[in-house]
Amino acid sequence: MADFALLHRPALADAKSGSFGAPSTGARITLTALPEGHVMHVLASRGSGDLTALIPRIGDGASHAVRPYGPGQWFVIGDAPLAAAEIFAKTPLLEGKASISDQGHGRVRIGISGASVEAVLAKGTAVDLALSNFPVGHSAMTLIGHISALISRTGPESFELLVLRGFAESLWDELIQMSLEFGVDARTGK
Amino acid sequence: MASLIACPHCGPRPKEEFTVRGDAGITRPAPDAGEDAWYAYVYLRDNPRGRHKEHWHHTSGCRRWLVVERDTMTHAIYTVTDASAEGETA
């Protein structure tokens, strides 16, 4: 018997919310705490070949659902929460060539957008985020400051960051700091 | 130390994303090779001046083991390959 009730609370529920920094209107940054839906970590089996065509089968069909970040490694992400049984039921779709690990409890998404979004993220990472080098749909696992995050481009001026749950609020605060010169609206959904 | 490592999977990344394991040139002795061979394998390392091959782990990127050939004096990087592509084991 548990001594206290466990509550599911979004990682960014108590994070800073509101408008901060410069009062500019042209290049403002918008930070959004995205729904904690499903995050599936997919790892290819040894010698399973190119699985690029196979992985989207377990996704929800939305654009950017599948985010590759290294040889044989993907995150498959969506807004709808999935029960453990629903994730387990997807395993046969991969024909034994890859395994799925539910990371929905462990990683959360932050949306960041605005005309100056590349300049803000460039303060934290060395990855070249220019549209020509980092097109829409591209993903990269990297460090933002000292925090490991998966950066995915979802539009010409918008990115999503996937970060370990325990680091989410710290990264959120850092992103606000990094955006102050342009002005930032932080939306936790409260 | 070299500041940019050209990961074959991720492109150029700063060294802070990597963890250095050390010399990639040593081979694991046979289980019955004797105490001296195992002592040397576990503890003894050269400290070369010049070209050196090392295992680097792209910890904050693709999480792959790489073989980085670099110059310990000039900090130049010559080659970076995936460790599995080289058939390197240790």
Q: Which fold does the domain B4-82 belong to in CATH?
A: Folate-binding fold (3.30.2270)
In a domain? residue A118: yes
Q: A71, B9: Cβ pair inside 8 Å?
A: yes
- From A74, A102, A130, give the residue that closes a domain: A102
- pLDDT digit string, tens, across residues A27-79: 899 999 999 999 999 999 988 888 989 999 999 988 899 999 999 999 999 99
Instruction: Tell whether A89 and A125 lie within a shared domain.
Output: no
Are A128 and B11 a contacting pair at CB < 8 A? yes
Q: Considering only CB atoms, which chain A residues are within 8 Å of B61? A: 69-70, 140-142
Domain that holds residue A136: 21-35+106-187
How far is residue B7's CA from residue B59's CA, in Å, rounded to a whole number?
A: 11
What is the rounded (10 degree) CA torsion for A161, A164, A170, A171?
A: -20
Is residue A8 in some structural domain? no
Return the pLDDT at A4. 85
The two tokens of residue B12 are 């150029």
Query: How far does B10 lie from chain A, in Å, by closest CA?
Result: 7
**Which of A185, A187, A189, A183 minimizes the C-alpha distance to A27?**
A183
Number of domains in chain A: 2
Residue in A128, A140, A143 closest to B16 by CB: A143
What ipTM was estimated for this complex? 0.84
Contact at CB, A128 and B64, closer than 8 angstroms? no
From the CA of B3, how many Å to the nearest CA of chain A? 11
Both A46 and A116 in one domain: the answer is no
Question: Are residues A176 and A113 part of one domain?
Answer: yes
Residue B86 confidence (pLDDT) above 80: no
Task: Find the CATH number of the domain harbouring A152.
Answer: 3.30.1360.120
Q: Do residues A87 and A114 both lie within one domain? A: no
Residues of B with CB below 8 A from A71's CB? 9, 62, 64, 82
Q: A120 with A31, same domain? A: yes
Evaluate whether residue A123 is within a structural domain. yes
Q: Look at residue A115 and tell me if it is in a domain.
A: yes
Strand partners, A70: A73
Mean of pLDDT over chain A: 93
Mutate to test the interface with A, among B4, B5, B9 (most CBs of A within 10 A): B9
Domain boundaries, chain B: 4-82
